[in-house]
Every structure is written in structure tokens, then in C-alpha cells.
Amino acid sequence: MQTTAKITDINIDYNTNKPKISLLLDTNELDTIEELKNEDKLNIDLKKYRQKRSLDANAYCWVLCDKIAKTIGNSTKEDIYKEAISYVGTFEPLIVEERAFDKFKEVWEKQGLGYLVKENTRKDKCVKVFCYYGSSSYDSKEMSILIEFLINEAKELGIETMPEGELKSLLEQWH
């Protein structure tokens, strides 16, 4: 079971001297909780809540890429997506030995369409590259930046975008 929660109380267990917490879960799955209660150990992953990007954001990203590609006429929506990722996407700068570069690039780019390797410079048998992450790994803020970039590109081409009210509502869901 996976859900969100709020810590409502923290104590110290006096027998073990370990922290003991109470959680207010955002679920009503009592049957599942009752089953878990009887387990000796559970895997727990507590971390700060961050709203994930919505599927609407992903769908709208692809709508924009498709409209831009059709307007330009010599690109696919996949090309537009990759171009947008390379303009505003999250990346890691790395240095790779020349002899390992082709295999590294092949392995990195197999992770997904937006996982790109852009060569920057070559020196001393090494290649400096920028390794971009695909939007499937983006949080809400990163996805919002990508969508806003695509909206600006669409507007420059005279493509109608989502009405401001809907767009504002959609963007607020991402933050």
C-alpha cells in the first residue's frame, strides 16, 4: 500500500530507545492496514511530500509537440519533444573516455525518448557530454518549465494554446 500521511506524534519507545511515530494516513483502506498491522516488519519510506506531475501535464506536453511538428512540417512530435528537453531539460555534465562514448550514449538513451546525450567538447581522448533526463523523471516544477517552453514555441508559431484560465488551473496542479 502506498499513500500520503502527516506525522501527528513522535515519542521514544522506552524499551528500545527508538523513535515511535503516529501517522494520519490519507486513505480509508482499513482492511489493508489491519493486514499490515500483524506483520513483524514493514518497509517504510518517509520523505517530504512533493506533488508529482499530473498525467494531464504529460498529455498536454504531447499535444503541444504534435501541433508544433505539424505546423513546422518537417519534424515529428518526438523531434520537438527532444529539442525542448535539450533547451530546458535537466542534465548532468559528465566526462567519458572517447573509446567508451558510443556505448555510454547507447545505454543512456535506451532509458527513454527524452534521455539524450549531447556532445560538448573532445579533449585528451575524453568527451565532455551533457546527459539529459527524460520528462518521465521530472517533478512538477521541471514539467511546468517544459510545458511553458512549449507554449511559448507554439504561440510564436501562431498555434492556439489552452485558454489562460484552463492553463493557469493546469499549472497550479503541478506546483
Tens of pLDDT along 148-174? 999 999 999 999 998 877 776 776 765
Tell me how crowded residue 81 is: count the other CB atoms within 10 A of its CB. 25
Same-domain check for residues 69 and 155: yes
Number of structural domains found in the chain: 2
Residue 49 — very low, low, confident or very high, per pLDDT cuts 50/70/90? confident
Q: What is the pLDDT of residues 108-137, one digit of tens each?
A: 999 999 999 999 999 999 999 999 999 989
Over range 43-57, report the average pLDDT: 75
- Are 67 and 154 contacting, i.e. CB atoms less than 8 angstroms apart? yes
Same-domain check for residues 122 and 169: yes
Same-domain check for residues 78 and 45: no
Same-domain check for residues 59 and 41: no
Global confidence as pTM:
0.67
Domain boundary, last residue among 49, 67, 84: 49
Same-domain check for residues 41 and 59: no
Same-domain check for residues 27 and 72: no
Same-domain check for residues 72 and 141: yes
- Are 121 and 132 contacting, i.e. CB atoms less than 8 angstroms apart? no
Same-domain check for residues 139 and 87: yes
Same-domain check for residues 86 and 168: yes
Same-domain check for residues 39 and 71: no
Q: How far is CA 38 from CA 16, 31, 108, in A?
A: 20, 12, 43
Residue 40 has which C-alpha cell? 513483524
Same-domain check for residues 45 and 21: yes
Domain extent, residue 2, equals 1-49
Residue 53 — very low, low, confident or very high, per pLDDT cuts 50/70/90? low
Q: What is the pLDDT of residues 58-105, one digit of tens each?
A: 889 999 999 999 999 999 999 999 999 999 999 999 999 999 999 999
Same-domain check for residues 80 and 153: yes
